[in-house]
Amino acid sequence: MLKGPILQTLPLKAKLFRGFGDPSRLAILEALRAGPMTVGELVRATALTQPNTSNHLACLRECGLVRTRRRGRFIEYRLSDARVDQILDLAGALLAETAEGLEACPRYADPERETAAREGVS
Partner DNA sequence: GAGTAATATCAGCCATTGCTGATATGTTGT
Partner DNA sequence: ACAACATATCAGCAATGGCTGATATTACTC
Out of 32, 57, 65, 84, the residue judged to bind DNA by CB under 7 A: 57
Query: Contact letters (x/-) for DNA, 75-114, by CB under 7 A?
Result: x-------------------------------xxx-x---
Asked whether position 72 contacts DNA by CB under 7 A, the answer is: yes
Q: Provide the pairing of β-strand 66-71 with 37-38.
A: unpaired
Burial class (CB in 10 A: 0-12, 13-18, 19+), 42: buried
Asked whether position 83 contacts its own copies by CB under 8 A, the answer is: yes
- Nearest alpha-carbon partner for 48 in 33, 76, 29: 29
Decide if 4 contacts 46 (C-beta within 8 A). Answer: no
Q: How many residues line the site for its own copies (CB under 8 A)?
A: 61
CB of 74 or CB of 94, closer to its own copies: 94
Residue 59 is classified by DSSP as H
- Which partner, its own copies, DNA, none, binds residue 38 by CB below 5 to 8 Å per kind? DNA
